[in-house]
């Protein structure tokens, strides 16, 4: 059960709750691509929901979640080492989320040798979709697919009605796109790839950048200098 709660990234957890969160959740051994909203008042209910998930949930899956969306035919552009040219299909009904997602793509294009453009056709590499309750169970607000698992179609699902601030949408988008670019969860509480979203600044740290550099060309000169993930 610890591993399950560890595999869930929780938004808007205050810094002073970090210790509690750390105690209740061991560092993830396996990447999970969904993000969970956690409000103080709702925390006991959210925790209950987490603990009642099947124990095997995080460990035994090898196939991605499915959905009734067209596949992105150029999704394997995400695997390229040389400069990527990513078509992004933005299919959410939430215009604020669409805006924050574009900002998150812009962030990544400053970190990696990557250009992106909007592509409303099936030639996309990434598609932002409105997640259904079957994909986003309970309070999960966002979830990306695993690039390595079966049925990878290039989809990132968000709950378009999740009560997220603009900054939470942005940070969640950066996190989920980070998974698409090959990052797993980072045990450092300061990393944007930490499975919880704590209040305060978030960075790509040396571990994140080293992993990225093994997979893509970076625009930044050094992997040892943390990169702040700022809204704008």
Residues that bind Zn ion (CB under 5 A): 9
In terms of CB distance, is 116 or 195 closer to Zn ion?
A: 195
In terms of CB distance, is 88 or 180 closer to Zn ion?
A: 180
In terms of CB distance, is 87 or 135 closer to Zn ion?
A: 135
d(C-alpha 111, C-alpha 114), whole Å: 8
In terms of CB distance, is 87 or 152 closer to Zn ion?
A: 152
d(C-alpha 95, C-alpha 97), whole Å: 5
Query: Where do we find the tokens 């598609």?
Result: 127
Shortest distance, position 174 Cβ to Zn ion, whole Å: 11
Question: In Å, what is the CA distance from 106 to each residue of 28, 86, 88, 128, 191?
Answer: 28, 11, 12, 15, 18
3 state SS of 99: helix
d(C-alpha 3, C-alpha 228), whole Å: 28
d(C-alpha 81, C-alpha 39), whole Å: 39
d(C-alpha 158, C-alpha 218), whole Å: 27
In terms of CB distance, is 9 or 75 closer to Zn ion?
A: 9
Residue closest to Zn ion (Cβ): 9
Shortest distance, position 30 Cβ to Zn ion, whole Å: 11
In terms of CB distance, is 9 or 216 closer to Zn ion?
A: 9
In terms of CB distance, is 9 or 89 closer to Zn ion?
A: 9
Shortest distance, position 221 Cβ to Zn ion, whole Å: 27
Cα 184–Cα 185–Cα 189 angle in degrees, nearest 5 = 150
Show the 3-state SS of 21-85.
HHHHCCCCCCCCCEEEECCCCCHHHHHHHHHCCCHHHHCCCCECCCCCCCCCCCHHHHHCCCCEE
Shortest distance, position 100 Cβ to Zn ion, whole Å: 17
């Amino acid at each position: 059960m610890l591993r399950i709660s560890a595999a869930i990234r929780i938004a808007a957890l205050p810094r002073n709750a970090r210790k509690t969160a750390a105690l209740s959740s061991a560092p993830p051994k396996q990447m999970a691509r969904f993000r969970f909203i956690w409000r103080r008042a709702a925390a006991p209910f959210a925790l209950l929901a987490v603990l009642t998930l099947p124990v095997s949930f995080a460990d035994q899956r090898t196939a991605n979640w499915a959905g009734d969306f067209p596949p992105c035919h150029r999704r394997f552009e995400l695997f390229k080492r040389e400069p990527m040219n990513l078509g992004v299909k933005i299919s959410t009904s939430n215009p604020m989320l669409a805006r924050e997602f574009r900002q998150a793509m812009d962030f990544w294009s400053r970190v990696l040798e990557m250009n992106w453009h909007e592509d409303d056709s099936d030639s996309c590499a990434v598609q932002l979709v409105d997640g259904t309750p079957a994909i986003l169970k309970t309070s999960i607000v966002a979830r990306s697919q695993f690039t390595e698992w079966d049925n990878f179609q290039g989809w990132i699902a968000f709950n378009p009605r999740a009560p997220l601030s603009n900054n939470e949408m942005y940070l969640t988008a950066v996190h989920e796109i980070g998974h698409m670019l090959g990052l797993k969860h980072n045990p450092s509480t300061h990393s944007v790839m930490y499975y919880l979203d704590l209040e305060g600044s978030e960075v790509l740290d040396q571990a994140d950048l080293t992993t990225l550099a093994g997979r893509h060309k970076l625009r930044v000169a050094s992997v040892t200098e943390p990169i702040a993930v700022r809204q704008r």
